[in-house]
Structure 1
């Protein structure tokens, strides 16, 4: 009997010991998991959060222009950035990018108060006003910045000022739209040739490779507009034989078109539906609005199947003409984006957009300007990238990072 009790006691001891060991192992496992989770949490905290604008900087090539490392500008240095306009989503993005680059510089160099590097963004109150831009350039050169970056409205308008800048030791960088001036330190821009060719190919696809196209261009004078129009035409001619470009309207050539439309109206070969013009025996060219001229273009090309806008202003002008003509079958592509164009994409009024990287342009322009001021040398061309945006992909994370 005693032996039986001893065996039972021994068995109970073994059971209790096993339970204790299991509990101990469980506690150690839980503790290990907790420690691992804590380490993971700490690692996540230490991981630097990606800047909200980093996606825009990542598009810039060479990558040396997407950061401000090793740009040791003197305290109080002044940089000037001049755009084609003083308002609008595009130029606001350029300004933000430039200001962010300077903020990053000041943080990196530890400059505060009066020692901070300063920057001014300025542009004509009316976009593409060449005379106003030249006046602004004169004023900025008189402030003797350590370097200046400018989006040139007229490729041949600023050469005298660029010569003066060189004489004063002020390096000049072009961005967005450049110039043939030989003394520019760098050109920071979209690859206008490649992007316009892509726009042509995308439009041809939307048109099923056949039909007539009209180009709407912002001007005849800026380098960007010239390159885009030429590249678009070349791509269509070389690779899309079923498509014909039947007209090109330039927004700085309104008066010539007013003459054409007025002459046809007065000869009785064109009768607009516009009630404001009905019943007039003689129409003066200057009486015609740009919208009435655009309407004339659509009437003269009843088989139109596509339009291409070389910038957002030209695109909006053409799109408004499509809507007035009730051209539901007309495909529309062009450059740049804002709230209105996002809505047009979502509603199917626009088929696709070449979205540039104005934030990246502003940022890289500051980097190029700083490098020029420090005699570090620059790449001749800095490519700030672009993104093809459609209704289908505009919600993709990668695309959302570059929208504005």
Structure 2
């Protein structure tokens, strides 16, 4: 019952904190904290996010003397959501800073349009958006690639037309990309592994919930995590890795097992289904039943690592539904939903990325490519390890999305 106890402790702590500490936003990206002694500590959230960029040149617009009317396209993996809204906010701030520094107004303003699939992770829609944007002949495109194997044809077309390409968050191995802006996924995953190992008492079995099977980002986060456990935490067993975009394949496997009589849904008895018309297909298996299967096949699991906000919340929702309250959970992102789960003691820790900084740096990298100023091949957007114990720290809170 560790989680219920921790949630109660957090509520008690919150009550005490409210008596002596309050936190308000100032409306200009600045977070103001009133401490126990009545003094005020102000933290510029934007500065915290941009100071995390390495190299630091990608956190400002100095020297970016773009021509009036320059158009930059930024494409994400989704049209909205906490992470992608923050990317768009950062990109728009960079554009505003450029226009302010150059004195551009009206039709002279440098423009940026952010777009992404209406359904997160839709490869075909993202490729269609990329086609549409290239047809508008932007001077540069910044894109977070859903599928690392997609887009090469479009990138070739961009190169032929003098359109620079920058990737951010989820990258591509395409050779003519001008810059790659992302979290150091290897380092972040390794840090998550260290913290999870501590939470597990250096023993037990961990499952991996990965948000997709197609991006380089996921591969890096899975590999960095498993390699760190193997090297420094040998008594922890890594069980299966489940890819959330491959649930349909898993459902097919579940249906096949039920038909063969080697598995049964909860409350049913396993028995072969001989009648062809009664045999199950993937459509007969719900998402919840797929998760039931995962936990039934991994009865000794004591921890779950999620490679994205969606993966973390899938772990939270299903461990709570199945009353597996002693399963430790860590993972990537720091959305509002995840932050609440962290407060409630349902998550042990989170790798907060810097989507605002990614958006800002993407515009900077695109601008540098347009001006032929040269770019760093890789730009580290930074990350922060967040727990229930440090999430009220203003500089840490600035990294929440």
TM bin (shorter chain)? 0.7 to 0.9
Which of 83, 86, 105 matches 2:79?
86
Identify which of 116, 122, 136 aligns with 2:115: 122
The residue that corresponds to 1:396 in the other structure is: 393
Mapped partners of 2:387, 2:182: distance in 1: 22
Compared CA separation, residues 274 and 68, structure 1 to 2 (3 A): farther
Q: RMSD of aligned C-alpha atoms?
A: 1.8
Which string of whole-angstrom CA distances, capped at 9 and with x for unpartnered residues, describes residues 325-367 of structure 1? 2111100001112221111001100000000000000000000
Q: 2:371 aligns with which of 368, 371, 374?
A: 374
What is the aligned partner in structure 1 of residue 63 from structure 2? Answer: 70
SS in 1 for 2:113: strand
Q: Secondary structure at the match of 2:255?
A: helix
Match of residue 273 from structure 1? 266
Larger mean Cα displacement after TM superposition, 359-368 or 239-248: 239-248
Given the alignment, which residue of 339, 347, 350 partners 1:350? Answer: 347
Alignment partners' CA distance in 2, 1:76 and 1:168: 18
Task: Give, in angstroms, the shift of residue 51 of structure 1.
Answer: 4.7
Q: Distance in 2 between matches of 1:80 and 1:171?
A: 10
Secondary structure at the counterpart of residue 226 of structure 1: helix
Moved more, 94-103 or 307-316: 307-316
> Which residue does 2:49 correspond to in 1?
56
Q: Is there any run of 5+ residues in structure 1 with no aligned partner, and where? A: 1-48
- Classify the secondary structure of the residue corresponding to 1:219: coil
**Contact 1:298-1:321 within 8 A present in 2 as well:** no
- What are the Cα deviations for residues 195-237 of structure 1, in whole angstroms up to 9, with x where unaligned? 0111111111110111111100111111101111111111111
Are 2:343 and 1:316 aligned?
no
Corresponding residue for 2:39?
none
Query: In structure 2, what is the equivalent of residue 235 of structure 1?
Result: 228
In structure 2, the CA distance between the partners of 1:50 and 1:296, relative to structure 1 (3 Å rule), is closer
In structure 2, relative to structure 1, the CA distance for the partners of 1:274 and 1:227 (3 Å cut) is farther
Please tell me whether residue 186 in structure 1 is matched to residue 179 in structure 2: yes
Q: Does 1:252 align with 2:245?
A: yes
Specify which structure has the higher proportion of helix.
1
User: Which structure is larger by alpha-carbon Rg, 1 or 2?
Assistant: 1
Distance 2:262 2:381 in 1: 48
What is the CA–CA distance in structure 2 between the aligned matches of 1:317 and 1:403, rounded to whole Å?
19
3-state SS, counterpart of residue 242 of structure 2:
strand
Question: Partners of 1:363 and 1:285 in 2: how far apart?
Answer: 42
Partner of 1:112: 105
Stretch moving more, 373-382 or 243-252: 243-252
Please say if 1:264 is aligned against 2:257. Answer: yes
Q: Alpha-carbon deviation of 1:265?
A: 1.9
Secondary structure of the residue aligned to 2:138 is coil
Of 284, 289, 294, 2:286 maps to 289
Q: Does the 8 Å contact 1:68/1:367 carry over to 2?
A: yes
How far apart, in 1, do the equivalents of 2:92 and 2:315 lie? Answer: 33
Deviation at 1:324, TM superposition (A): 1.9
Q: Give the distance between the partners of 1:305 and 1:51, measured in 2 at CA.
A: 39
Q: How far has the Cα of 1:268 moved from its partner? A: 2.9
Aligned to 2:203, which of 202, 206, 210? 210
Cα deviation, 1:346-401, whole Å, max 9, x if unaligned, reads 11000000000000000000000000000000000010000000000000122012
Query: Could you tell me how far apart the structure 2 residues matched to 1:137 and 1:84 are?
Result: 11
Distance 2:177 2:97 in 1: 25
Q: 2: distance between equivalents of 1:50 and 1:205?
A: 31
Residues in 2 aligned to 1:215 and 1:60: alpha-carbon distance in whole angstroms: 29
Q: Whole-Å Cα distance in 1 between the matches of residues 156 and 351 of structure 2?
A: 34
Pairwise CA distance, 1:192:
0.7
- Alignment length (residue pairs): 355
